[in-house]
Structure 1
Amino acid sequence: MKKAINVVVENFNTMRTGRANPAILDKIMVDYYGVPTPLKSLASVAVPDASTLIVSPFDRSGLRDVEKAILESDIGINPNNDGEKIRLNIPPMTQDRRKELSKKVSKMGEDGKVAVRNVRKDAMKRLDKHDFPKDSRKDLEDSIQKITDRYVKAVDDLIKTKSEELMKV
């Protein structure tokens, strides 16, 4: 269940909130000499101000590949290539885009809750494999449900926090 929470947090970090955050580039894969390679393995990312990211490839020959990968990604930012580094200017978000991203946050959160519930289901199946007395079994099922409820509430809190962050102008 902790892994499911961590995945939700990672997914939320890759979402653009109107401020420059290097984590939005974490999931971008660059076709580097025919091999899909994570962007963070090929370049450093700096944040000079609240609305700009600068991507500096370690190998300048891969600059075009990095630029192409950023263009093809779904982050919605056009890269500016100056021959040495790539500048990403983060535009301010419109209210419609904020609402759209808020819906996406809700969907990601629901996926996280489903993952937590699947862990609960697996734990319940493991209980079936063992021969426990009825009262002990009931206590174990109740404790598994309490843990599940706690993690589902944690996901709900994450959704609420990220949605508020997105809606803040």
Structure 2
Amino acid sequence: MEEEIKFIIDSTRETMGNALKHLEKKLINIRAGKASPSMVSSVMVDYYGTPTPLNQVANVNTPDGMTISIQPWEKSLIPDIEKGIMVANLGFNPMNNGESVIINVPPLTEERRRELAKQAKHEAEESKIGVRNDRKNAMNDIKELDISEDMKSNLEIDIQEMTDYHIKRIDEIFSVKEKEIMTV
């Protein structure tokens, strides 16, 4: 019985933690004004017929806050990298100088900042839904256990405290990202 209870608590903690990790990954892809290599992390390049992540065929860095420089390991990949950036629909216009691909990151308008903040809020809400679903599953598992009502009640309180903690963390992560997006 103890093992079942421990398993429910541990698996719930793990899945709620995964919701936080997922949120952080999603928010990295939402840009916040200055250029960063993570902005092109979703770009796939056709490398000899195989879709390959950009960072596996080129060095990606930011020489300044408004430029992303992509130095391919093979010069023949430059057209494929440009095509991959366009297909990824990031809103960037890649240019090449024969040696590397350069992306000038335009400053965000106020309207675009609001749009990105709304997108970040949506991702945070999705994570909260995930955490609440994890709570619901744990509560259902607890109800099926053959233990006293007091023990069930205590476990439900523990699960609720875990849920509250993760929801609070999601709000904190979102507010940091929102501030980052809205700062000019």
Fold match (TM-score > 0.5)? yes
After TM superposition, the structure 1 stretch with the greater mean CA deviation from structure 2, 142-151 or 123-132, is 123-132
Please provide the CA RMSD for this pair: 1.3
Does 2:160 match 1:145? yes
Are 1:7 and 2:18 an aligned pair? no
1:59 equivalent in structure 2: 74
1:125 CA displacement: 2.8
Q: What is the SS of the residue equivalent to 1:37?
A: strand
The secondary structure found in structure 2 opposite 1:30 is strand
Q: Deviations over 1:80-104 (max 9, x none)?
A: 1112211111111100100111110
How many angstroms does 1:168 deviate by?
0.8
Give the TM-score of the pair, scaled to structure 1.
Answer: 0.94
Aligned to 1:108: 123
Distance across 1 between alignment mates of 2:49 and 2:147: 55
Distance 1:69 1:155 in 2: 32
Determine which of 98, 101, 124 is the counterpart of 2:113.
98
Maintained 8 Å contact 1:16/1:75: no
1:114-141 per-residue CA deviation (whole Å, 9 max, x = no partner) reads 1111222222232234212100001101
Is 1:71 aligned with 2:89?
no
Contact 1:20 1:52 in 2 (8 A): yes
Q: Distance in 2 between matches of 1:118 and 1:36?
A: 34
Matches of 2:106 and 2:144, distance apart in 1: 55
SS at 2:26's partner residue?
Answer: helix
Residue identity in the other structure for 2:83 = K
SS at match of 2:63: strand
Distance, in Å, in 2 between the alignment partners of 1:83 and 1:94 is: 31
| Paired residue secondary structure (1:53) | strand
For 1:94 and 1:60, how far apart are their aligned partners in 2? 34
Is the Cα–Cα contact under 8 Å of residues 81 and 87 in structure 1 kept in the other structure? Answer: yes
SS in 2 for 1:112: helix
154-163 vs 113-122, greater mean Cα deviation: 113-122
Q: What is the rounded CA distance, in whole Å, between the counterparts of 1:74 and 1:101 in structure 2?
A: 15
Aligned equivalents of 1:147, 1:90: Cα separation in 2:
40
**TM alignment of 1:45-56, pairs within 5 A:** 45-56=60-71
**1:44-100 deviation per Cα after TM superposition (whole angstroms, max 9, x unaligned):** 111111111101112222221111111122321111111221111111110010011
The corresponding residue for 2:13 is none
Count residues in correspondence: 169
Q: After the TM superposition, which of the residue ranges 23-32 and 142-151 deviates more from structure 2?
A: 23-32
Q: Secondary structure at the match of 1:139?
A: helix
Aligned ranges 1:106-145 → 2 under 5 Å? 106-145=121-160
Q: Contact 2:139 / 2:156 at 8 angstroms: preserved in 1?
A: yes
